[in-house]
Amino acid sequence: MQVAAKLTASGLTRQCFRAARMPCRPRRGLATRVAASAAPGEYDFDLFTIGAGSGGVRGSRFASAYGAKVAVCELPFDYVSSDTKGGVGGTCVLRGCVPKKLMVYASEYAEEFKAAAGFGWTLPTGAISHSWTAFIDAKRKELLRLNNAYKNTLNNAKVTLVEGRGKVVDAHTVEVDGKRYRAKNILIAVGGKPTRLNIPGAELCITSDEALELPACPKKIAILGSGYIAVEFAGIFSRFGSEVHTCFRQPTPLRGFDSEVRKFANEQYVAAGLHLHPSVNPVSVQRQPDGKLSLTVKAVEGGATTTLTDLDQVMMATGRAPKTQGLGLEEAGVTMGAKGEIVVNDFCRTNVPSIWAIGDVIDRIQLTPVALMEGMAVAKSVALSQPTKPDYWAVPSAVFSNPEIATVGYTEEAAAAEFGDLDIFTASFKPMRNTISGSPIRTFMKVVVDANTQKVVGMHMVGADAAEIMQGFAVAVKMGVTKADLDSVVGIHPSAAEEFVTMRTVTRKVRRNA
């Protein structure tokens, strides 16, 4: 694990928040008290939430179900977010998980058509084509449907929805477009926004927001960064037939993931047709006389520059920043971190006892299910007076790249640092589907076992259906499954998943004192 460990206010290491690959247990003993009761009528609401995204909606409706009087405010709807536009559902539903996965599905058909030939299908020549605008229209309709469904959910849960930009005035007051509301507790769930690198030509680039709303599929695109968003969109555009160039600072993509997984994923991305440009820093983006773009990058070592030309788009996928600017938090005395994230304790409570914060804005693990967990914890704390900590142990995650990656628990590097002695089991194979389809893509599976307790402390997979497979194994890891338990399970044949219960030979033993 290369991210420096650093204690946060919650007593959890920063390292363990880098997307669940170094799961730590919360430090005990940070006391919390639920906000003191108020005199009846003193407040308009028991809880006022700013932001109706994943965490805000979940926290609000659970608090309401527990008997609290709850309101939530949200910016007016748009497909692309800004300081004045958002929409009920938030990033995941409108500009993240959902539209991204719809794009993954849409792009996968291209591969399916190709693979079908290997299985004897003849596709009519020239008859297969894709309408980008038809797809974007269908995607937009679905997002609008979901936006309405979320509004209905809030309505059915008796949560008052206020449209407009929320701002904290003081410990118990929220202002939405000039109107003030008094609340016993305030929950900040405003999420984050895509960041742009400060390089010449940054304004010519798109981010994930715009990438989901392009008027046409780019013929040639450069993507900066190699985190979740970069590799997912690289897979999407490449399957749609774009020439995709991914430029990143590290030697392999997906910093923070298990290094064997990174190396294997790197090989598969190349096999899948991506043009990878590792160990480079972006320098500038220019508009060519013909309207296309060019991108100049500089080698991390040696400083040689390379210019990619004739690009239809340059996408920055270089991280997201908490959306806390102008929210009135500093004025209300809330402690903020260096990146603008809200500092909270183990209970998602800020240093101002009536103000709580969850989701991307606290910059722990930026995943929807984590924001949901945090929202439910705060709902219990404030509405049931049951102080509740979110549990960050064994949070699984998946990268919907081509091929998919899924992981739960420790990377080998983090586990070696934590436990010292490990037994590592790995398998690499060509999945049956790819044997006669002609696809070169292989699958990799890895089990990390603490040698002293024989507990499985990490599981990783690169390959088709990794997300679907890993969800079930995450339950086992969270319950403390041992390698012997895995070995005792009968496989489902033929499947890739069965490999996880049939690995009998240790690939290598990692010993602290070897």
Ligand X SMILES: Cc1cc2nc3c(=O)[nH]c(=O)nc-3n(C[C@H](O)[C@H](O)[C@H](O)COP(=O)(O)OP(=O)(O)OC[C@H]3O[C@@H](n4cnc5c(N)ncnc54)[C@H](O)[C@@H]3O)c2cc1C
Where is the binding site for FAD, in residues? 101, 166, 360
Partner from ligand NAD, ligand X, none binding residue 166, C-beta < 5-8 Å depending on class: ligand X
Catalytic residue (one of 130, 275, 277, 493):
493
Shortest-Cβ-distance residue relative to ligand NAD: 227
Instruction: Evaluate the CA torsion angle 449, 450, 451, 453 in order and state its sign.
Output: negative
Cβ closer to ligand NAD: 154 or 466?
466
Q: How crowded is residue 509: how many other Cβ atoms within 10 Å of its Cβ?
A: 12
Is 277 catalytic? The answer is no
Partner from ligand X, ligand NAD, none binding residue 466, C-beta < 5-8 Å depending on class: none
Residue 367 is a binding residue for ligand NAD (CB under 6 A)? yes
Cβ closer to ligand NAD: 151 or 277?
277
Cβ closer to ligand X: 161 or 283?
161
Site for ligand NAD in 303-332 (CB under 6 A): 317-320
Cβ closer to ligand NAD: 173 or 324?
324
Rounded CA-CA distance 131/105 in Å is 14
**3-state DSSP percent of the chain in helix, strand and coil, to 5:** 30, 25, 45
Residue 190 is a binding residue for ligand X (CB under 6 A)? yes
Residue 237 is a binding residue for ligand NAD (CB under 6 A)? no
Rounded CA-CA distance 124/219 in Å is 24
Residue 398 is a binding residue for ligand NAD (CB under 6 A)? yes
Instruction: Give the DSSP letter string of 331-359.
Output: TTT--B-TTSPBP--TTSB-SSTTEEE-G
State the minimum distance, in angstroms, from the CB of residue 134 to ligand NAD. Answer: 25
Residue 359 is a binding residue for ligand NAD (CB under 6 A)? no
| Residue 60, burial from CB neighbour count under 10 angstroms (0-12, 13-18, 19+) | buried
Which of residues 1, 12, 16, 19 is near ligand NAD by CB under 6 A? Answer: 19
Cβ closer to ligand X: 186 or 190?
190
Give the N- to C-terminal CA distance of the chain in Å, as an integer.
20
Tokens of 48: 């006022």
State the minimum distance, in angstroms, from the CB of residue 19 to ligand NAD. Answer: 5
In terms of Cα–Cα distance, which of 215, 203, 258, 249 is closest to 230? 249
Site for ligand NAD in 170-229 (CB under 6 A): 197, 225-229
State the minimum distance, in angstroms, from the CB of residue 169 to ligand NAD. Answer: 30
CB 20 within 8 A of CB 398: no
Residue 268 is a binding residue for ligand X (CB under 6 A)? no
Cβ closer to ligand NAD: 185 or 390?
390
Tokens of 111: 């591969």
Which among 9-17, 294-302, 398-406, 435-443 is the span making contact with ligand NAD, rule CB under 6 A? 398-406
Cβ closer to ligand NAD: 296 or 437?
296
Residue 230 is a binding residue for ligand NAD (CB under 6 A)? yes
Cβ closer to ligand NAD: 130 or 249?
249
Rounded CA-CA distance 23/388 in Å is 18
Residue type, 280: V
Task: Name the strands in the sheet holding 508-510, side by side, starting at the edge strand that comes first in the sequence.
Answer: 397-399, 405-409, 456-462, 443-450, 422-429, 508-510
Question: How many helices and strands in the chain, by DSSP H and E?
Answer: 12, 22
Rounded CA-CA distance 210/315 in Å is 9
Size of the site for ligand X (CB under 6 A): 37
Residue 75 is a binding residue for ligand X (CB under 6 A)? yes
How many CA atoms within 13 Å lie on the side-chain side of 436? 6
Provide CB contacts within 8 A for 168, sequence distance 6+.
50, 174, 175, 186, 188, 327, 328, 329, 331, 332, 334, 355
Q: What residues form the annotated binding site? A: 101, 166, 225-232, 319, 360
Residue 96 is a binding residue for ligand X (CB under 6 A)? yes
Residue 342 is a binding residue for ligand NAD (CB under 6 A)? no
Residue 256 is a binding residue for ligand X (CB under 6 A)? no
Residue 457 is a binding residue for ligand NAD (CB under 6 A)? no
Q: Report strand pairing: 45-50 vs 70-74.
A: parallel
Q: Where are the beta strands (DSSP E) in 143-269?
A: 160-163, 166-170, 173-176, 179-188, 192-194, 220-224, 243-247
Rounded CA-CA distance 346/259 in Å is 30
State the minimum distance, in angstroms, from the CB of residue 466 to ligand X. Answer: 13
Partner from ligand NAD, ligand X, none binding residue 463, C-beta < 5-8 Å depending on class: none
Residue 249 is a binding residue for ligand NAD (CB under 6 A)? yes
Q: Mind telling me the catalytic residues?
A: 493
Residues near ligand X (CB under 6 A) are: 50-56, 73-75, 81, 86-87, 90-92, 95-97, 100, 165-166, 189-191, 208, 229, 323, 327, 359-361, 366-369, 371
Residues near ligand NAD (CB under 6 A) are: 19, 197, 225-230, 232, 248-249, 255, 281-282, 317-320, 366-367, 397-400
